[in-house]
Amino acid sequence: MGITTKHLLSKATFCMITSKRMNSYYTGKHASRYNRTWRTFLQKTLLATLSTIDVASLQQRASTRERPLRILDAACGTGLLLEQFTHLLPHAELYGIDESQAMLAQATQLLRDRPHVHLVQASLGGGETAGLPFALATFDLITCTNTWHYLKDPAATLAGLGRLLVSRGQVVIEDYVLRGFPFPRKAFERVITYYDPQHIRLYTLSEAQTLCRDVGFQVVLTKSFKIDLFCQGWVLGTLPG
């Protein structure tokens, strides 16, 4: 029998972690319409994320040990990537965290018949485990999509996520940047912040690579891809140094 969620969570935070920074954009009707509103954006960004994961290495690892793979989707939103994992790696234990209870409610509905999926309300941050309620050396793969622009200290977050990985585990990070960036950067980010107060700043792929290397991660794969006329996506696959 696999280790339960309770065994993986730290003592005081098994049930829920409530964030004081919750943005109304990810609550109520915005959460319920999120998948429809951002359908094309999500399809492109999640496809790029999946294509960057070293699935063969995960399958090899799963075949050589008794316990199942453990995968964490950090800031899982409505659970679309987790749902893809249920098909791609059907025997894995899947964990999703998100700051928004309303987004997690959407994920719960989507994944209601998947017993190996565990959802927890929590916020990415700094500290030993990136502010997340999991034990060290728990996960074989951690993904983080469309979230890097919300982080106050992405280097600290990445370092914390690295401590949650088993040896040779993978972290795959995806986010977007304005096409033609950084020329209209300040004006564009002011507009974003008006509608999305949690937004902090956008990172280019080059900046993200430098950040990962500064923290001690090995960047093993990078990709850029077009999202629409205004936005360019990027994704990178990393291994802890």
pLDDT tens over the chain, length 241 residues: 334 444 444 332 333 333 334 455 577 777 778 878 889 999 999 999 999 999 999 999 999 999 999 999 999 999 999 999 999 999 999 999 999 999 999 999 999 999 999 999 999 999 999 999 999 999 999 999 999 999 999 999 999 999 999 999 999 999 999 887 555 666 777 777 766 778 889 999 999 999 999 999 999 999 999 999 888 999 999 999 8
Whether the bond between 182 and the residue before it is cis, its omega within 30 degrees of 0, is yes
Direct distance between the N- and C-terminal alpha carbons of the chain, in angstroms, rounded to an integer: 32
Half-sphere exposure of 215 (CA within 13 A, CB side): 25
The runs of H, that is alpha helices, within the chain are: 5-8, 28-32, 34-37, 39-52, 55-63, 80-88, 101-110, 154-164, 185-195, 205-215
